[in-house]
Amino acid sequence: MRAKNNIVFKTLVVAVLFAILLINSKNITSQLRVRFTDSISPALKAAHALSGIPKRIIPFYSLREENRSLRERINILDRQIEEAKILHNENARLRDLIGFRKSLSYTTSPAVVIGRDPTKWSNSIIIDKGSSGGIYQNKAAISTKGLVGRVVEAGRYSSKILLITDPNSKVGVIIQRNREGGILVGRPDGRCKMVYIAMDSDAAPGDKVITAGFGSIFPKDILVGEIIKVGKEPGRLYKYAIVETAQDMSRLEEVLCIR
């Protein structure tokens, strides 16, 4: 009888323990799952980071292409702006040239500077017109600012102009204020020198120098430039003056050739 009771008691204990185990199985499973998740969380984080790379790369690539396209458009617009400025400046110069041409008492032919003599870069120029355009040898060339030079070679479609800054150039000139005369010769430095000024002349810096109108090449009263220095060379019986030309020859783009 006692043995039977022990069996029943043991059976009841096992049943109770099994019931308790069933009751707490959810808590045990949850704890195990939490511990397992904690142990693999570094790997999960790494996997998540790797999975986000394509999402970051694709927008970045798209933005890079967009930026490249925008830079190209900006460069195109910059070039168009510069081209528009060039055209605007050219149109302004041509309007001035046309207006100036109409104000002259003599006939002229406009021409564009297309080159310079490689042996005398700053002292002669090549223009895009010749005899077919009314350009002839030994005729004066001017700009809207003043005297430029004279035609020394005239082809059919192009001509060469010797600038007044060339040492081989000689022009009869006078000082506008006191009407005293002299000869203008070119200098290698791009300026001119007026020689044979009378010793008692009161020529001074700031005086304007104009053409005297001697001969048939240079008409009278064309502005040449301005005196910047007056001096006397030892052993000479005359004064000289350094003249800054009215036209900057290095920026000369269009001329009017007198016919």
Q: What is the pLDDT of residues 209-223, one digit of tens each?
A: 999 998 889 999 999
Instruction: Give 45's contacts (C-beta < 8 A, 6+ positions apart).
Output: none
Q: Give pLDDT tens digits for 141-172.
A: 999 999 999 999 999 999 999 999 999 999 99
Kindly report the length of the chain: 259
The residue type found at 141 is A
Q: What sign does the dihedral 216-130-114-108 (CA atoms) show?
A: positive
What separation in angstroms does the CA of 19 have from each of 43, 95, 232? Answer: 37, 109, 131
pLDDT computed for residue 61 by the predictor: 59
pLDDT tens digits, 45-94: 665 565 655 555 556 657 777 787 778 878 787 777 776 666 666 667 76
Quote the pTM value.
Answer: 0.65
Q: For a pLDDT cut of 90, what percent of the chain falls above it?
A: 51
Which of helix, strand or coil describes residue 143? Answer: coil
pLDDT for 230 equals 97
